[in-house]
Copies of this chain bind each other. A is one copy, B any other.
Amino acid sequence: MNAITAPQGFVAAGVHAGLKSSGKLDLSIVATADGNPVSAAGVFTSNKLAAAPVQVSRAHLADSGRTAAAIIVNSGNANAATGTEGATHAEEMCTITAAELGCQPSEVLVCSTGLIGIPLPFDLLAAGIPQVVAGRSPTGGEAAATGIMTTDSMRKEIVHTGSTFTIGAIAKGAGMLQPNMATMLAFVTTDAEVEPSELQSLLQHAVDHSFNRLTVDGAQSTNDTVLALASGLAGPADPLELQAALDAVCYDLAIQMADDAEGATKTVIIRVEGAADDTQGLHAARSVANNQLAKCSWYGQNAYWGRVASEVGASGVDFDPELFSVTYGGIVTAADGVAVGYDEAKMAEYFEGRRIEITVTLGLGDGAGEVITTDLSHAYVDENMGKS
């Protein structure tokens, strides 16, 4: 759908540089149409084993005063745990891109996704970057979205049309779901006019309420990166509308990731209400979302609420064993801390769907938190045994 090039002022492309033996696209660019830098923002993994491209992009945003003219991205190799050589390679990717575009290297951001600990096949990238830059166009958004995919089964794209502005976004991955293909990446463009510092604030808020509430397996990749570019060509936007739109775009991409998470059969939304405060609500929801036993029960289409309640009790949040309730899609399975009879046929029917919503009410306060996750299936184990 060419989502990333839907806002005014952006071009994109995707090519096969040779990193993927399958012959699929593995090198993408998103750039401003005129090659000039615009407002840019980034949110990066907090993993201390942050990959070389994460470190380079962070530095470039700082050096350029949060502006950028392009994002260059390869799939098929994470360039993580690759030492000083890896850092040089990430920097070189920006230098080559900048030379082709006619901007400064510090105005290029770089991402990589793939296997950890394997040296980057840099020659392939050095040859591929001029090709992908040359191929950039307003209709290259779909190819760019394809070129960042690893084991994703479908492209993840969305366009939001606001009253005065457009937002386009693409993403790949679902947490560190894959054995050798790690990482979530998301790139957002808009033609709204927004200062770099405001764009950073808007993006951070959107990420906190979307990708940071998506957990497939509790692991944070070495390469997780979300970047935003704002061309300003549509003029100023209402800040509240822009924030809401950016939040919605990122939330939609997070759900797309969970829906496409390989090995998963369910997208599960855990909501904890009545917590002492929002922090506790979110922490409890996250604990349930990362509980292997609960995840297996969802795969088994089994409303075993005891697992869910036990995990909340173990999570450390304020908890009264006589006050909690647990519902699945509105079907009450426990109330006031004890089992409640329910229509098993109705529950079985509910579990036939892809989306499962579980709400735990603690009865203690007004705090609430929500996390998006998936089940734990045989296919997940297959995917992550690392033999494939």
Contact = CB atoms under 8 A, between A and B. Distances in A.
* Copies of this protein chain in the complex: 2
Nearest to A304: B386
B338 A82 contact: yes
Contacts of A293: 176, 179, 217, 219, 384
A213 to B, nearest CB: 17
A381 interface: yes
A45 to B, nearest CB: 8
Which interface residue of A115, A305, A386 has the most chain B CB atoms within 10 A?
A386
A230 B61 CA distance: 65
A221 B297 contact: no
A296 B117 contact: no
A47 interface: yes
A339 interface: yes
A47 B310 contact: yes
Nearest to A45: B314
A222 B339 contact: no
A335 to B, nearest CB: 11
Nearest to A180: B304
A330 interface: no
Interface residues of A, number: 65
Nearest to A306: B116
A220 interface: yes
Nearest to A339: B117
A45 B82 CA distance: 42
Interface stretch (A4-12, A130-138, A144-152, A372-380): A372-380
Contacts of A180: 304
B117 A311 contact: no
A296 to B, nearest CB: 3
Given A292-B292, A293-B176, A309-B116, A314 B46 contact: yes
A14 to B, nearest CB: 26
A299 B387 CA distance: 10
A306 B117 contact: yes
Contacts of A219: 291-293, 310-311, 314
A83 B336 contact: yes
A312 interface: yes
Contacts of A176: 293, 310
Interface in A264-314: 290-293, 296-297, 299-302, 304-307, 309-314
A338 B81 contact: yes
A272 to B, nearest CB: 14
Contacts of A126: none
A127 interface: no
A50 to B, nearest CB: 7
A244 interface: no
A118 interface: yes
A218 B48 CA distance: 22
Interface of A: 45-50, 80-83, 115-118, 176, 179-180, 182, 217-222, 290-293, 296-297, 299-302, 304-307, 309-314, 318-322, 334, 336-339, 376-378, 380-387
Given A47-B310, A176-B310, A292-B384, 6 more contacts: A49-B313, A81-B310, A179-B300, A219-B293, A300-B385, A300-B386
30 contacts: A46-B314, A48-B314, A49-B309, A49-B312, A49-B314, A81-B310, A81-B337, A81-B338, A83-B336, A116-B307, A116-B310, A117-B305, A117-B306, A117-B338, A217-B292, A217-B293, A218-B290, A218-B291, A218-B292, A219-B291, A219-B293, A219-B311, A293-B384, A296-B381, A296-B385, A297-B385, A297-B386, A299-B381, A302-B386, A304-B386
